[in-house]
Amino acid sequence: MNHPSLIEAVLVTVVLTNLQLLGSSRLKICIHMVGLQGIVAGLLPVLLDHEANPLRAWLLVVGSVAIKGIVFPKLLLRVLRDAGVCREVEPFVGYILSLLAAVSALMFSLWMGSTLVLPQAPVGTTLMAPVGFTTILVGLLVIITRRKAISQVIGYVVVENGIYIFGVALVGGVPMLVELGVLMDAFVAVFLMGIAVYKISREFDHIDVDRLNRMQG
């Protein structure tokens, strides 16, 4: 089955979650947005028709929706509770400016998608690679401009989502074993980062990464 309109609905949702993520100071909302993004992005493989092996696609969907849509948000919410923060206070770049940056990133990605001759897997829409790339850029923006350690974990998950979409657009997915390995790595990475945030909050009484600067030179 191929559903270009469904695929485009998914992509629009991804873009909207990106914007909401950047414009919100409440970390809880950010985490929910990342979860939603993970779920809709995870659905992509079954919406494509060039999939030779439907079983494989469904396995992937179940795996990535479970991990990115359910496990990650639960884990992050728990870390948030343990660390006792609820807001991103004074990010290095303000919310309005971040939103503008995200929109520019989207325009840049669309322009790049139209000029750069990337061999496209037949996915029925030309929007997928640009949206994936925008999501990667938004994730990087979150990592760089936010102060709380947990925001960096959120940014990392957004980058992962972006790469996932980008990968589906570019090659229509890589071998199953690789896909599973990547998923497992992402899971462990987020898990470890969660533990690290927890330890940092215990040791330092804060999770502000700009104050983790004792070692220099």
Partner 1 sequence: MAADWILWPILTFPVLSAGLCLTLHSPQRILGAVAFLGFLWALLLGAVAVTVMYLGTLSAARHWLTLDMLSSYHLLIFGMVFGASSLYARHYFSFEIAHDEFNLEDGRKFGALWFGSGTAMVSVLLCNNLGLMWVGIEATTLLTAFLVCAHVTPLSLEAMWKYLVVCSVGVAFAFIGTLLVAASALELGLAAEDTLLWTVLDGSAERLSPGPMKLAFVFLLVGYGTKAGLAPMHSWLPDAHSQAPTPVSAILSGFMLNAALYCIMRYLPLVEGATGHLGWGRALVTLLGMISMVLAAAFILFQHDGKRLLAYSSVEHMGIIALGLGLGGIGTFAGLWHAMNHSICKILAFFSIGSLGQLYGTHDLGKMAGAMRRSPLWGLGFFVSVLILIGSAPFAIFMSELQILRAAIHQEAWVVLAIFLAAAALVFIGALKLAIAAAWGEEVVVPRTQSSSIIDVLLVIGALGLLLLLGLWLPTPLHGMMESAAQIIGGRP
Four-point Cα dihedral 176, 182, 184, 185, nearest 10: 160
Query: Does 189 contact partner 1 by CB under 8 A?
Result: yes
Query: Does 163 contact partner 1 by CB under 8 A?
Result: yes
Q: How far is CA 212 from CA 120, 159, 208, 217, in A?
A: 43, 23, 7, 14
Among 1, 55, 119, 210, binds partner 1 (CB under 8 A): 119
As measured in angstroms, the least distance from the Cβ of 96 to partner 1 is 25
Which residues, in sequence order, are bridge partners of residue 26? 87
**Stretch of 2-10, 22-30, 66-74, 110-118 contacting partner 1, by CB under 8 A:** 110-118
Query: Does 80 contact partner 1 by CB under 8 A?
Result: no
As measured in angstroms, the least distance from the Cβ of 98 to partner 1 is 18
Q: Which of 51, 145, 50 is nearest to 92 (CA)?
A: 145
What interhelical angle do 4-23 and 95-115 show, nearest 10?
150
User: Based on CB atoms, which residue is closest to partner 1, 22 or 164?
Assistant: 164
User: Phi, psi at residue 35, to the nearest 5°?
Assistant: -60, -50
Query: Does 185 contact partner 1 by CB under 8 A?
Result: yes
**Stretch of 12-20, 26-34, 38-46, 172-180 contacting partner 1, by CB under 8 A:** 172-180
Instruction: Evaluate whether 64 touches 164 at the Cβ level (below 8 Å).
Output: yes
Torsional class of 90: left (φ above 0), alpha (ψ -120 to 50), beta (otherwise) = left
Query: Does 181 contact partner 1 by CB under 8 A?
Result: yes
User: Based on CB atoms, which residue is closest to partner 1, 1 or 217?
Assistant: 217
Cα four-point dihedral sign 144, 149, 151, 154: positive
- Which tokens is 29 given? 């909302």
Question: Where on the chain is the footprint of partner 1 (CB under 8 A)?
Answer: 52, 116-119, 121, 136, 140, 143, 149, 152, 156, 159-160, 163, 166-167, 170-171, 173-175, 177-178, 181-182, 184-185, 188-189, 192-193, 196, 199-200, 203-204, 209, 212-215, 217
